[in-house]
Chain A
Amino acid sequence: MQGIVLALFICMLLALVTKRFSLPTIPFYILAGLFLGKSGLDLVGADQVSAFLTHLGLIFLLFFMGLEIKPDRIWHNQSAIVSSGMIDLNINALIGFLAAYALGFPLFDALIIAAAFFISSTAMAVTSLIENRKLLMRESETIVWLMVFEDMVVILILALITPQTGSPGVMLAKTVAVLLMLYAIIRFGKEPIIWVLKRDDELPVLLTFSAVLGISALSIYMGIPESFMVIAFGTLLGTIDPVSFEVQSRPFKDVFLVVFFVFFGISVNIFSAGISLTVLVAVSIVAILSKYISGIAIGKYIHKSSRSGIEIWANTIGRGEFSIVIAALYASDLVSGTIACMVIVTSIIGAFVAKYSEKIGEILLRQKNADLLVRPAGDQEG
């Protein structure tokens, strides 16, 4: 208990400082965890209370993500989403996998690293576009839809890779049955739900909190993919009143997500897992370079311009919340440390690159024009 309080206070102070300098907060929460936990002073350890709060952080993040998903809107924009998304997925997942495999990670670990490696931080991309006042850029829409595509891939991963054993057919049938039941409840219970949400007492927040926890408990009881169900539930509730559910669940998400990040850092042991610093640095550098290649490729494909590619790259370098989710759910100690390090390095460097993207673009493209006029941009890094 004291450990959680200490960790939260440190995170609050860090948030004050990082917000002052417009830096992303996620890497600093993880750094605080590393400092307090196994990798550092070993002051705070995980216990049952922290495990429960961490779990709440995870499910509220996923629920929030679900609320944002508007299936019809995605359907209408599929052409914009799929082409750039597939370039992004193919390039980054492949490079991530090959790099991890070449560095000596076992096959499954390399796949998990590839997944975490591919997913840029939606939160950081959106914040950087708003704070650096780049919303008018034509690339910003491309970036936003790219993030939507990546979120879809996350959902797919969460749905497909489940620790549950048993027949996949039975699990699929159970999942579909529960989804249909939820759909029916939300469809026919719309009026009472809206009535509860409009009240100004504790009922709206109680409803939101218990519904999210209820879905999580139900999924675990039924043996169906919990993370996926929480997201799907968010999307279904988003058809009723997304704003109200966001308002009600935001405080839970904000607080428990900090617990989630800091305890992820606490549980990771970067040093004793037998990973050399070279590997950690190598993965982080490759992570930045591979988004450069995919960024340039998307820029050339969608906007016919390398300059656009630089902007896309700059705003998608940072890996964040979903890479950590993947690590927390699937990764071994060995892999968690690598992903933690990659998130910290890419998100901090990403914040700076996004801020100074114009100057960086000038420098990078000037060199390119000077010495390579024939080869397509982006080739030389591969």
Chain B
Amino acid sequence: MALRSVTLPGIGTKYELETEKKDTIAVFFLKSGNIQMYTLQHESQTPSVAELTPQEARRLGAILTGAIMEADRESVEIAFSALSDLRLSLHTYLIGRDMAGKSLSDLQIRAKTGVTIIAVSRGENNIVNPPADFEFREGDAVVAIGETDQLKNFEREIMVK
């Protein structure tokens, strides 16, 4: 894997990466702020190009690094080996039409399943530790924390309704 970066006057900065399988990926940070990403398959002549806004590029970057996304069913598990093998999972869910308009206290999530909603992402905003009267809207992405079994419960009891 060879990474090369050059600054092109008037255009911006170029990062070019050749993958192990000889495909080429080039990313141009344009002076306009947008990002053009080229992918060129090995032995092909014509690249495919996508132009991204900075926000889209960050989102793509997050997907590529494997971090949690606002999309449904992304999760990470954290194990605290010093705390008698405590395993916690963080999971994201997208709020559908059925749950829209209900508040955290209406749904009784923690009481019923043991799962805690620790953050909600709504459009550009993130709400960390939403209060009990927080009302969900369709399209919100929520981050839930709990043990794997509790999250399974949460999916069955709350999300499906």
* Residue ranges of A at the interface with B (Cβ–Cβ < 8 Å): 68-70, 73, 122, 126, 129-130, 133, 135-136, 140-141, 144-145, 147-148
Main secondary structure of the interface of B (DSSP, over half): strand
Smallest CB separation, A234 vs chain B (Å): 13
Chain A CB within 8 A of B86 CB: no
CA distance A69 to B7 in the complex (A): 12
Cβ-defined contact, A147 with B28, below 8 A? no
Query: A136 contacts B8, CB within 8 Å?
Result: no
Quick one: given A130-B30, A133-B49, A135-B28, are A122 and B10 in contact (CB under 8 Å)?
yes
The 3 closest A-B CB pairs, nearest first, are A136-B38, A133-B49, A126-B10
Are the CB atoms of B9 and A148 closer together than 8 Å? yes
> What's the Cα separation between A129 and B49 when bound, in Å?
13
> B47 at the A/B interface (Cβ < 8 Å)?
yes
Residues of chain B within 8 A (CB-CB) of A126 are 10-11
Q: Which of A129, A136, A141, A147 contacts B40 (CB 8 A)?
A: A136
Partner of B10, one of A68, A133, A136: A68
Say whether A70 contacts B8, CB under 8 Å: no
Q: Which of B9, B11, B14, B36 contacts A70 (CB 8 A)?
A: B9
Choose among A144, A147, A148 the residue with the greatest number of B CB atoms under 10 Å from its CB.
Answer: A144
User: What count of chain B residues pass the 8 Å CB interface test?
Assistant: 18
Does the CB pair B40–A144 fall under 8 Å? no
Q: Is B26 at the interface (CB under 8 A from chain A)? A: yes
A-B contact sample (18 more), CB < 8 A, given A130-B36, A135-B38, A144-B10: A68-B10, A70-B9, A73-B7, A126-B10, A126-B11, A130-B30, A135-B11, A135-B26, A135-B28, A135-B36, A136-B24, A136-B38, A136-B40, A136-B47, A141-B8, A144-B8, A147-B9, A148-B9
In angstroms, how far is the closest chain B Cβ from the Cβ of A86?
A: 19
> Interface digits, B1-29 against A, CB 8 Å rule (1 contact, 0 not)?
00000111111001000000000101010
CA A130 to CA B33, docked complex, whole Å? 12
> Do the beta carbons of B11 and A129 come within 8 Å of each other?
yes
Alpha-carbon distance between A70 and B10 when the two chains are bound, in angstroms: 11
A-B contact pairs, 26 of them (CB 8 A): A68-B9, A68-B10, A69-B9, A70-B9, A73-B9, A126-B11, A130-B11, A130-B30, A130-B36, A133-B36, A133-B38, A133-B51, A135-B8, A135-B14, A135-B28, A135-B36, A135-B38, A136-B24, A136-B38, A136-B40, A136-B47, A136-B49, A140-B8, A144-B10, A144-B11, A147-B9
Q: Which A residues are in CB contact (< 8 Å) with B30?
A: 130
Q: Which residues of B contact A135 (CB under 8 A)?
A: 8, 11, 14, 26, 28, 36, 38
Total contacts A-B at CB 8 Å: 42
Of all chain B residues, the one with the shortest Cβ separation from A131 is B51
List, in ascending order, chain B residues with CB within 8 A of A122's CB.
Answer: 10
CB distance from B38 to the nearest CB of A (A): 4
Nearest B residue to A147 by beta-carbon distance?
B10
Chain A contacts of B9 at CB under 8 A?
68-70, 73, 144-145, 147-148
Q: Provide the bound-state CA to CA distance between A82 and B153, in Å.
A: 69
- What's the minimum C-beta distance from A316 to chain B, rounded to whole angstroms? 13
- B36 / chain A contacts, CB cutoff of 8 Å: 130, 133, 135
Chain B's closest residue to A135 (CB) is B28
Residues of B within 8 A of A148 (CB): 9
User: How far apart are A190's CB and chain B's nearest CB, in angstroms?
Assistant: 22
* Residue on B nearest A132 in the bound complex, by CB: B49
Kindly list chain B residues whose C-beta atoms are within 8 Å of the C-beta of A69.
9
CB closest residue in chain A, given B39: A136
Residues of A contacting B6 in the complex (Cβ-Cβ under 8 angstroms): 141
With a cutoff of 8 Å between Cβ atoms, the chain A residues found around residue B38 in the complex are 133, 135-136
Which residues from A are CB-within-8-Å of B40?
Answer: 136
